[in-house]
Amino acid sequence: MSAREAGTELAEGYNFAYLDEQTKRMIRRALLKAVAVPGHQVPFASREMPLPYGWGTGGLQVTSAIIGRSDTLKVIDQGSDETTNAVNIRRFFARTAGVATTTRTADASIVQTRHRIPETPLTEAQILVYQVPMPEPLYRLEPRVTECRKLHALADYGLINVKYYEDIVQHGSIATTYDYPVLVNDRYLTSPSPIPKFDNPKMHMNPALQLFGAGRERRIYAIPPYTKVKSLDFEDHPFSVQRWEHQCALCGSRESFLDEMIVDDAGSRMFVCSDSDYCSSRRAAQDAPGDAAKEAA
Amino acid sequence: MYVAVKGGERAIERSWDLLAEKRRGDRAVAELTVAQIREQLRLAVARVMTEGSVYDEELAALAIKQAAGDLVEAIFLLRAYRTTLPRFGYTLPIDTEAMHAERRISAAFKDIPGGQMLGGTYDYTQRLLDFTLLAEGGTGAGDEDTAPATHAEPMPRVLAMLDREGLIEQERARPDAPEPGDLSREPLTFPVDRATRLQNLARGDEGFLLSIGYATQRGYAHSHPFAGEIRNGEVAVELELDELGFAVEIGDIEVTECQMINQFAGSGEVPPAFTQGYGLAFGHSERKAMAMALVDRALRAQELGETIASPTQDAEFVLYHSDNVEASGFVQHLKLPHYVDFQSELELLRRLRTSGGVASRPAPALAAEEEQEVAHERP
């Protein structure tokens, strides 16, 4: 299913995958350090990219530093390959690196994502690159980077435990639904990027390498394959993920994260898988046995 | 039904076409050339070069044309190009004392060696709209020779004269001083030295620095500024060539420099002396250079032993928020889809309202405390 992006020509006058080799080397050094200290934020000399800060410059730089000619790239935003920002970034690499791109999770060697982890489980042969707006999990409680560094050094995460305790007292549950902080390898409190907490359990012991790039904040961090990742919770209030009363209107899934759409003026709702590849492969699989049955008859 | 998020590729291409069309405007009107922008919108060019941190008038003018006059967008275009440029060396520090000044004023002394030079300034234009410029072909300038007079003799700095009397604190060049960092090659980390702070401020958004500088004048870290000296003109750029073993001039650049003299400080050990703030910008950019000098002085609070009592003195607050390429990107990223996060919030809010038995009650006109709590979670 992977293919060269239709109608995109290789951009001339730029190095493979845009960044110069010196810059890639600098980013790879930061990545190695990040992998060695799981969940720890490593400062790096983020470059100005031809994409606005906040639109995926960190993920772009990480992908640029690790991508090779034989790689197959998938880019998703909100779980979908078709959103404008995902299309834009996929075309960027098709133009500057000439690599094969795909929308199928299983066919990709690198998946760059904003706000979701694919529903299809990843393998050891894959790398997941997250675009991160705010790498600091404590920034809502302590906006000072210098203070947060101290708290991480001391593994002093009392602030956030108090905040979640207060949530439970006030609302009966923890009122964080996305960018739900995780403790990586029993040491560093880490932002999973603004993925829904629904996706948090997928990070735990994932066979794929997970890399995180925050361009504007100039930080890189990583979760190596098969690393323990625990979402913050309390013994008497264990972590739980969102569940829907509905099923996907297209593929019937009850297991996936659903997007809600308003489909008419009366405010009727429709729920559809946010992961477009997962949804379409399920529909293809449902059609296929049907066809086979018809042929048999 | 699922169309809303599809067809992105064609939509993007069509958006480029529309943008080009809008940029061109009415085809009955002659197209603006890059040379016209460079010559006739020189203050916009100066700002784009300063905050884009490349001295190249032609590329800055091109960026302004491409951005249809949106200077922050033009600055972004120039920065993104700058990133791809190789570095082949570092110039010697420019010597602004040897400037060919077109304008030079001091608000501290009535007369100064080298004299005050008003030069071309909007300061005393009375701000009456000049309707002759509105008439086609009106130039607003006569035929007489109005080429700017420049002062080619080195003009000693006003602050150097105060320094001779020991009245102003000075940072002396030390032989063992470390090489200054390079903010475009290293991430900003704290605590941050003055050289790095000044790099940040030089690239910083003019409007942001203007407001922060203004706040210092209104009592948020007031330090009594006097415009010790403002000068604008051309300075030579010299590069040391290894093959030759000496420095050669590779060109001239226009800069504006501001040295503020600020209220004295002193302690038991150090006698009271004036302190200073510094601003430098490409081209003729007085507002930027002055605002930068005010902010530089405010950020020196810690090294001068002052109490940090205001956000204007807080290096982390000021330096992390001064860059308009970063700020513009992050503010505008809110335009990107956030369906997934929003869905998560919707689900939580519905659940909280159901479990609280308030599902049927309408939301209050003013958000109740619990909803404010949830709202705070939204990045």
The whole-angstrom separation of Cα A16 and Cα A62 is 14
Nearby residues of A48 by Cβ (< 8 Å), 6 or more positions away: A57, B76, B79, B80, B82, B83, B325
Q: What proportion of chain A, given as a percentage, has pLDDT over 90?
A: 79
The whole-angstrom separation of Cα B138 and Cα B132 is 6
- How do the domains of chain A map onto residue ranges? 21-231, 243-286
3-state secondary structure at position A123: coil
Rg (alpha carbons) of chain A, rounded to whole number:
20
CA B165 to chain centre: 33
The complex scores an ipTM of: 0.84
Tell me the β-bridge partners of B273.
B265
Rama region for A75: left / alpha / beta (φ>0; ψ in -120 to 50; rest): beta
Regions of chain B short of the pLDDT cut 70 = 1-7, 137-148, 151, 265-268, 356-379
CA-wise closest residue to A93 among A122, A69, A125, A124 = A69
Unique residue bearing structure tokens 């919030």: B345
What pLDDT shows up at residue A124? 97
- The answer to whether A99 and A293 have CB atoms below 8 angstroms apart is no
Compare all CA atoms of chain B with the CA of A117 and give the residue at the minimum distance. B340
Determine, for residues A114 and B336 on separate chains, whether the beta-carbon distance falls below 8 Å: yes
Q: Which residues 119-148 on chain B approach chain A with CB closer than 8 angstroms?
A: none
Q: B217-224 — which CB contacts under 8 Å span 24+ positions?
A: B217/B294, B220/B310, B220/B311, B220/B312, B221/B298, B221/B301, B221/B306, B221/B309, B221/B310, B221/B312, B221/B313, B223/B262, B223/B263, B223/B275, B223/B277, B223/B297, B223/B298, B224/B262, B224/B263
Unique residue bearing structure tokens 């199928």: A104
- For each of chain A's 297 residues, which pLDDT tens digit applies? 445 555 567 777 788 999 999 999 999 999 999 999 999 999 999 998 989 999 999 999 999 999 999 999 999 999 999 888 899 999 999 999 999 999 999 999 999 999 999 999 999 999 999 999 999 999 999 999 999 999 999 999 999 999 999 999 998 889 899 999 999 999 999 999 999 999 999 999 999 999 999 999 999 999 999 999 999 999 999 999 988 888 999 999 999 999 988 888 888 889 999 999 999 999 999 887 655 444 444
Give me the residue from B11, B76, B355 closest to A52, CB to CB: B76
What pLDDT shows up at residue A40? 98
Cβ atoms within 10 A of the Cβ of B355, count? 12
Nearby residues of B92 by Cβ (< 8 Å), 6 or more positions away: B238, B239, B240, B247
Q: Which of A39, A56, A59, A213 is catalytic?
A: A39
Chain A residues close to B8, C-beta within 8 Å: 82-84, 86-88
Q: Which residues 78-107 on chain B approach chain A with CB closer than 8 angstroms?
A: 79-80, 82-84, 86
Q: Which of A213, A248, A252, A267 is catalytic?
A: A248
Compare all CA atoms of chain B with the CA of A245 and give the residue at the minimum distance. B347
Q: Look up the CATH number of domain A21-231.
A: 3.40.50.11310
What pLDDT shows up at residue B364? 62
DSSP class of A127? E
pTM here is 0.87
Using CA atoms, how far residue B378 sits from A259, B224, B365, B373, in Å, is: 18, 41, 20, 10
B27 touches chain A (CB under 8 A): no
Q: What is the pLDDT of residues B184-239, one digit of tens each?
A: 888 999 899 999 999 999 999 999 999 999 999 999 988 889 999 999 999 999 99
Determine, for residues B82 and A48 on separate chains, whether the beta-carbon distance falls below 8 Å: yes
H/E run at residue A110: strand A110-114
Determine, for residues A177 and B9 on separate chains, whether the beta-carbon distance falls below 8 Å: no
**HEC profile of B136-179:** CCCCCCCCCCCCCCCECCCCCCHHHHHHHCCCECCCCCCCCCCC
Reading the block at residue B30, the tokens are 């002659």
CA-wise closest residue to A277 among A58, A113, A98, A97 = A113
Q: Provide the shortest C-alpha distance from residue A296 to chain B (in Å).
A: 33
- The answer to whether B70 and B22 have CB atoms below 8 angstroms apart is no
3-state secondary structure at position A223: strand
The whole-angstrom separation of Cα A168 and Cα B159 is 61
The whole-angstrom separation of Cα A60 and Cα A213 is 8
What pLDDT shows up at residue B358? 59
The whole-angstrom separation of Cα B60 and Cα B44 is 9
What pLDDT shows up at residue A292? 47
- Is A148 labeled as catalytic in the residue annotation? no
Unique residue bearing structure tokens 């210098």: A146
What pLDDT shows up at residue B368? 46
